[in-house]
Chains A and B, each alone.
Chain A
Amino acid sequence: MPPVHRSVVYDWLRHDKKFPHVWCPGCGLGILLGSLLRSLVESGLDKNQVVLVSGIGCSGRLPVYVDVNSVHTTHGRALTFATGIKLAKPELTVITVMGDGDATAIGGNHLIHAARRNLDITAIIVNNQTYGMTGGQYSPTTPLGAKATTAPYGHIEPSFDISALSATAGASFVARSTVYHITQLDQLLGQAIAKPGFGVVEVLSPCHTNFGRQNRLGSQVDMMKEFKRKGMRVERWRELPEGKRAENIPLGVLVDRDLPVFGQSYQRICDTAGKRGEAGK
């Protein structure tokens, strides 16, 4: 894939008023933002066709920096707003950006039901394994035994696997990548945007300010090197013996299937009801 010309990417940024952005130095969200812009430009979409919806959290700031239609909504409800936008204007490309706490804790219900309905929405879930903005409290994706502000002796709950959760709930496209595997992330985001139906891309991102510091994982460079060490193509990961799987992270397209899309079924119902209404006059 040839690199997207950077002047195009800057053209999609609100670079004259919002920069430098608020994220910590080295935060993976900035890398994801660049990746998302490159995939949008690669997809050949017009700025007016794209809607970015976000909830609350560090990831909630992301649409603020992009010069497209953007909605910064309440905590966990990015998918509900996106549902309304998509059903009212089916021609728009709706992308939601959520954090792990936003998507699986506060908005956990919305995530599974959006996946079950298989709405034509792309959900980018940034997984930094903690609540970064509020000071490093544990989230549903904090690993067992990890330290957090609210778990100073180690977390005692097992964690959610966001990709497995959305795949089980019925999403038609599920992929996982990290901000270190940047070319793969570009491709996966492009595929998820192009895929009809609910597309989930779980993006592992370092929160060195809170999660990394409390667990002594070093700087974001060390955390990204850890992604590099653990990350493995899902095809190779599936060939591993059962005992060795836990120490590696499968990356790539985990689920890609064709399922009925909610928007199309909804349109059919609208047409049927409209005809009956006219016949009854």
Chain B
Amino acid sequence: MSGKAAQPKPAQKGESKVSFFPAWCKRCGNCVAFCPRGALKRDQWGYPVLADSDRCTSCGLCEMLCPDFALSVGEGGLKPAGAGAPRGSRVAPITSPERLAPEPNGGEEDGNG
């Protein structure tokens, strides 16, 4: 399979291998439940986080089992429009802020939502 398009480079140690697009995430938990190495955990709002980066083998199962295209493994992926926006912010008309959890650092509910 040498004629294929360039594959994403394997991530270096300590580098985040999984990128999350919280604005598209519906917190269904498929990625956390089916990660074969248990590298993903839910944060306090139910969003997935890469809790143990060293355990992640970049197999890509979380990406394939995500119904919402809300995460991708490795680098080089084109970010979908509006999907990289921080939680709780109004970025695009298609992204309803009501369903977004508040920013973890902000601490307070997003009053605009």
Contact = CB atoms under 8 A, between A and B. Distances in A.
- 10 A-B pairs closest in CB distance: A30-B67, A26-B28, A25-B26, A15-B80, A7-B78, A25-B28, A16-B81, A221-B33, A6-B77, A182-B64
Interface residues of A, number: 38
B1 A220 contact: no
A6 B68 contact: no
A15 B66 contact: no
Interface string A206-228: 00000000000001110010000
Given A2-B7, A8-B5, A19 B24 contact: yes
Interface string B83-113: 1000000000011000000000000000000
B64 to A, nearest CB: 5
B50 interface: no
B30 interface: yes
Contacts of A19: 24, 68-69, 80, 82-83, 94
Given A5-B6, A25-B67, 14 more contacts: A3-B60, A5-B76, A5-B77, A6-B77, A7-B78, A13-B80, A19-B80, A25-B68, A26-B26, A30-B69, A31-B64, A34-B64, A34-B66, A34-B67
B35 to A, nearest CB: 12
B40 to A, nearest CB: 13
A68 to B, nearest CB: 16
B11 interface: no
25 contacts: A2-B1, A3-B7, A3-B60, A5-B8, A6-B78, A10-B77, A10-B79, A10-B80, A11-B78, A18-B94, A19-B68, A20-B95, A21-B68, A25-B67, A27-B67, A31-B65, A33-B67, A34-B69, A35-B64, A179-B65, A180-B65, A182-B61, A182-B65, A221-B33, A221-B34
Given A19-B24, A23-B67, A29-B67, A6 B72 contact: yes
Contacts of A196: none
Interface residues of B, number: 37
A44 to B, nearest CB: 11
A30 B76 CA distance: 22
B78 A26 contact: no
A17 interface: yes
A7 B94 contact: no
Contacts of A30: 66-69
Contacts of B74: 6
Nearest to B1: A2
Contacts of A6: 63, 72, 74, 77-78
A15 B72 CA distance: 15
A9 B74 CA distance: 14
Interface in A23-55: 23-31, 33-35, 38
A213 to B, nearest CB: 15
Given A34-B66, A182-B64, A26 B81 contact: no
A31 B67 contact: yes
Contacts of B29: 26, 219, 221
Nearest to A208: B28
Interface string B36-80: 000000000000000000000000110111111110101011111
